[in-house]
Amino acid sequence: MKPKGVNRVVIAVKDLNRAMDTYSMLLGATFHDVSAGSAQYGVRAAISWDAGIELCAPIPGKNSYVEQIIARQGEGLMGAVFCVDDVEEAHARAKNMGVSVLTSLDYDQKTIDEQLGGRFKKYKWYMLNAADLHGVGAIIAQIEPK
């Protein structure tokens, strides 16, 4: 397995639209709403592939992980998405180290086409427990462009 670098940072925000406006004005970033895939986790989300930013805002009343983070520490950096060439090997390494997985995601091509604009041929990740990783909310991912 080889690391491929940081795909994006993940930022917890209270107001998704306001945060998108802020980073669009500051960086000239273009955001793509990916809330269809994140609503099951109680959040709305938008990703700027060009700026390497994912913004996550809690859906009111869902008691999401993002809502808990904002309540505990306020808005801000929540974690990072680290890409590897073999996410299953990275997942096995995490398990062997005793790092727990909070949730995972594996999109088929139809979902990639519908929710991510068809820009990838593989999009799979595991969200790891920050408590096991020195407080860093890490997602290990295999994201392969078309």
pLDDT digits (tens, 9 = 90+) for 34-43: 998 888 889 9
Nearest CA among 62, 55, 61, 17 for reference residue 41:
62
Q: What are phi and psi of 114, to 5 degrees?
A: -75, -45
Q: How would you list the strands of the sheet with 101-107, edge to edge?
A: 32-33, 43-48, 53-58, 3-12, 76-84, 137-145, 120-128, 101-107
* Token duo for residue 143: 């994201």
Nearest CA among 135, 111, 138 for reference residue 123:
111
Q: What is the model's pLDDT at position 40?
A: 86
The residues, ordered by sequence, that sit 6+ positions from 5 with a Cβ below 8 Å of its Cβ are: 82, 83
Contact assessment for residue 43 and residue 64, using Cβ atoms and an 8 Å cutoff: yes
Q: How far is CA 78 from CA 10, 45, 65, 70, in A?
A: 5, 13, 10, 9
Q: How many CB atoms lie within 10 A of CB 35?
A: 15
CATH superfamily for 3-145 is: 2,3-Dihydroxybiphenyl 1,2-Dioxygenase, domain 1 (3.10.180.10)
Predicted TM-score of the model (pTM): 0.91
How confident is the model over 34-58, as a mean pLDDT? 94
In tens, the pLDDT along 4-39 reads 999 999 999 999 999 999 999 999 999 999 998 888
In tens, the pLDDT along 90-105 reads 999 999 999 999 999 9
